[in-house]
Amino acid sequence: MAAKLIALACFRSEGYGDLSPRPHYPSMPSYPKGKGVSTQESSSVEQGSSPPEAKAATFSVFGMTCSACAGSVEKAVKRLPGIREAVVDVLNNKAQVLFYPTFVNEETIRETIEDVGFEATLIEDQMNERAIQVCRIHINGMTCTSCSSTIESALQAIHGVQKAQVALATEEAEVQYDPKIVNYTQILEAIEDTGFEAILISSGEDISKIALKVDGFRTDHSLRIIEESLQALPGVQDINVSPELNKISLSYKPDMTGPRNFINVIESTGSKRFKARIYPEGGVRETHRKDEIKQYYRSFMWSLIFTIPVFLTSMVFMYIPGIKNAFDTKVVNMLSVGMVLRWVLSTPVQFIIGRRFYIGAYKALRHGSANMDVLIALGTNAAYFFSVYSVLRAATSKDFKGTDFFETSAMLISFILLGKYLEVLAKGKTSAAIAKLMDLAPETAILLTVDSEGNVVNEEEIDSRLIQKNDVIKIIPGAKVASDGFVIWGQSHVNESMITGEARPVAKRKGDTVIGGTVNENGALHIKATRVGSESALSQIVRLVESAQLAKAPVQKFADRISKFFVPLVIILSFSTWLAWFLAGKFHWYPKSWIPSSLDSFELALQFGISVMVIACPCALGLATPTAVMVGTGVGASEGVLIKGGKALESAHKVNCIVFDKTGTLTVGKPVVVNRKLLKNMLLQEFLELTAATEVNSEHPLAKAVVEYAKKFREDEENPAWPEARDFVSITGHGVKAIVRNKEIIVGNKSLMLSHNIAIPMDAEEILAEAERMAQTGILVSIDREVVGVLAISDPLKPGAEEAISILKSMKIKSIMVTGDNWGTANSIAKEVGIETVFAEAKPEQKSEKVKDLQASGYIVAMVGDGINDSPALVAADVGMAIGAGTDIAIEAADIVLMKSNLEDVITAIDLSRRTFFHIRLNYIWALGYNLLGIPIAAGVLFPSTGFRLPPWIAGAAMAASSVSVVCCSLLLKYYKRPEKLDNLEIRGIRIE
């Protein structure tokens, strides 16, 4: 998933076509009805043909030796029209290509690979079906880690479920399952069997969901007709109708259909009186969050209405003489008006407003677990039913002088509801990063209608959520790009900083890819939508952040273990407290003066027992880690650091050794010619023309550097016409040769010249040796078997790399470089940046072994790389960090993705993880410390010496406040600032890229 989004965000097509003076696309196929057309044109969706589906093919590629070879193949394939994605795996000698058959076929792709200089064979030509699917589920009713653990255990027990994660903070579950064995309906039923409400968010990455509001129908029969019409559409997976909300929810395959097709079908059904539009609501989580906030607010306000009079009659009015006499007036025997009034007012609070706690406690106990609801239900019921007993005794006795605790149960419920209300409010803010990411998408888009010849015949403004695959969208200057796609007309500059972190606007021309949510700076663009809905780069970033927030950090296991025993232990402590104080009073083990005048020894013991029960808070422990991880990963996303979950976050804060790859990590990764030397008397321009004419046929990075250098000496620098090269041959790992202007040109390294029996002059030998000392690559050029010149090529060091390594040293982190390059280049680069330990000429498996050796020496190792050959080391490291501009495989293997490709983000990732775990520790100290101090105080350990006791309603307020305080402590992470040293670098004008 991450691989796709980064590949899309960072891919730049180099195949610029001619820019047409007007929007006309001669190379485009005519659009089928229902795809890439306006809503008017697609009214007869059922009869329209579906657009071409993407197809996958796998090729076996022989001859690749390094990541440069893989990069050459990947770029050559991506230049072809109709290529959606291409990934080359040098380790397994394979290339996987996702393409549109309308534009290109397997044979063309195979020939393109062979043109680069490698042997290619088609070994697979159909899409691999996923053996495992992922569904996301929203769960209502969880109160503490005991609830989440119960659901997780139930899901893990289902045959066919591979992995299940339940997050208390986000109230979501992510389940990986085998669709051949179990389906998501059975998973939902399993959750509901445990006593919680389950709502499906998504059932797989290949299926999109949308909700439509339908107006104009009068009967359920009309709705059934609409449902049947929609069901007939190809690609529709599931339909859910809610007549009371005028709502139809659909799951569908975006490759086959889309929301505009649904609206057209609905509005053309029957007598065309129906109207449909996107349902006006946010996501499932946000909608539920708002409902939950409203629900807790209403419950608290109603509770307050009843509780305030109860509090006044028991705590305030009893000290005002006139009013006290009125409330003390006897109704029957010793039953007073005040008692009756408190009973009447507290009963709705206990059984109607507090009903949620009974339901939660019943669900938990039914499945053999105990949660916070059990504690609240036991505590409030003990106070309420003892009070009922006191009332009944008073009504039937003429000398009973008991006290009721109705204010205890009512005030307990009120304070707990207030705490839950504040907690839900605070928890909503922990996922603010996702909301900010979603806000990047524009609300509307301009849809173009194109005729069969490719001419624009109409344009229409639509909701951006109605965009379908293969639509042609117009992007005006200053507007946000409405969808991922590629430019088919126009040229402009696009600001992609919100996705890639690159501050400079990127030039866009015909054939270049664009990312939804980025901003078009100047010229108008027409783009063809290729990835919509859940497939877009923005959606995948959001999904990555959401998955990270679901994943539990290992430290969370500590809280999960405690939660299993916490509530039963508290119940035992509470009963023991009541029994100890009751027996002490019964046998006069303490003076009678200790007992307040309004209570007897039994009532005093009962208050201590209830206080212990309600002050204990399992919620604070359960929220300590997930809320901090949520905020930490959200902050990381806003800083361009995508952290894949709590485990990566936890491991990163322990890192004390970082292994850097060289090319593309410490260096820019784009070689440039830095020096040249002619050894024969000839014109420089002629020398460069002959060299460039030979190298232009190669996709090797060094060849591209030579061609770019030669362009600078031509007047037609943008698109120069080089002399024709015949009999071109690429010698993998050595160089190239060809016939140009009837001259044999050989360009390559020293070994290539020797293999062709070409003598190397002493001057050339000296230049090659000097180049190696300066971390440069020397290339020899021979014309007709005679060396005529030398080119020195260097991969420049990233600006500020030396400062980044210096900052890591100050953080007590050891830096090591492991590279596949030669020792001379590696040592030179290492010396320049300040790295003391170097391992050069390392193969991919050797990089991995070096990481393991460091781990065996006691280091916690992070690996920073960008190439396919870095993937084994990224997996082996405790924390793998992939440069955002790197290859898909490297990004998939990594734990942390540095979106901006900046070395400074390595420092940011480690510093952010350290700060996050500082807050997690604070949360645990508070949550554990609160319980360790609060429970003894509630049990009355201070009462003998100070006379201080904690009334149950104050204990309830303290319990509610503890959860809120933990969430607020996590929220302080939102104000995270990068280390000042990084800001100082930018002030001095150094941007680490």
Q: Considering only CA atoms, which of 772, 865, 779 is closest in space to residue 825?
A: 772
Q: Considering only CA atoms, which of 706, 634, 640 is closest in space to residue 670?
A: 706
Beta-bridge partner residues of 430: none
Residues 6+ away with beta carbon under 8 Å from 993: 668, 798, 799, 800, 900, 901, 902, 903
Q: Considering only CA atoms, which of 72, 202, 258 is closest in space to residue 697?
A: 72
Q: Which residues of 13-32 are buried (b: 16+ CB within 10 A; e: fewer)?
A: beebeeeeeebebeebeebe
Helices (H), 194-283: 220-231, 259-268
Q: CA 853 to CA 868: how far, in whole Å?
A: 21
Residues 6+ away with beta carbon under 8 Å from 373: 143, 356, 357, 358, 359, 360, 361, 364
Beta pairing, strands 657-660 & 814-818 = parallel
Residues 6+ away with beta carbon under 8 Å from 153: none
Integer-rounded Cα Rg, in Å, for the chain is 35
Residues 761/766/767/769 CA torsion (nearest 10 deg): 130
Beta-bridge partner residues of 485: 514, 529
Q: 3-state DSSP call for residue 32? A: coil
Residues 847/848/852/857 CA torsion (nearest 10 deg): 10
List strands edge to edge, sheet with 208-215.
236-242, 247-252, 208-215, 275-278
Q: Considering only CA atoms, which of 260, 85, 244 is closest in space to residue 252?
A: 260
CB distance 686 to 788 below 8 Å: no
Beta pairing, strands 861-865 & 879-883 = parallel
Q: CA 491 to CA 493: how far, in whole Å?
A: 7
How many C-beta atoms surround the C-beta of residue 654 within 10 A? 15
What is the full DSSP assignment across 142-156? --SHHHHHHHHHHHH
List strands edge to edge, sheet with 133-140.
161-167, 172-177, 133-140, 197-202
CB distance 257 to 235 below 8 Å: yes
CB distance 19 to 907 below 8 Å: no
Given CA atoms 483, 487, 490, 496 in this order, what sign does their dihedral have?
Answer: positive
Spot the catalytic one: 661, 870, 878, 911.
Answer: 661
Residue identified by tokens 């927030």 is: 549
Reduced to 3 DSSP states, what percent helix, strand and coil does the chain have, rounded to the nearest 5? Answer: 50, 20, 30
Q: Considering only CA atoms, which of 870, 731, 701 is closest in space to residue 794?
A: 701
Q: Which two tokens stand for residue 970?
A: 């996590």
Q: CA 321 to CA 343: how far, in whole Å?
A: 22
Q: CA 287 to CA 912: how far, in whole Å?
A: 30
Residues 6+ away with beta carbon under 8 Å from 308: none
Q: Which residues of 789-808 are buried (b: 16+ CB within 10 A; e: fewer)?
A: bbbbbbbebbebbbbbbebb
Residues 6+ away with beta carbon under 8 Å from 932: none
CB distance 797 to 845 below 8 Å: no
Assess whether 471 carries a catalytic annotation.
Answer: no
The catalytic residue positions are 661
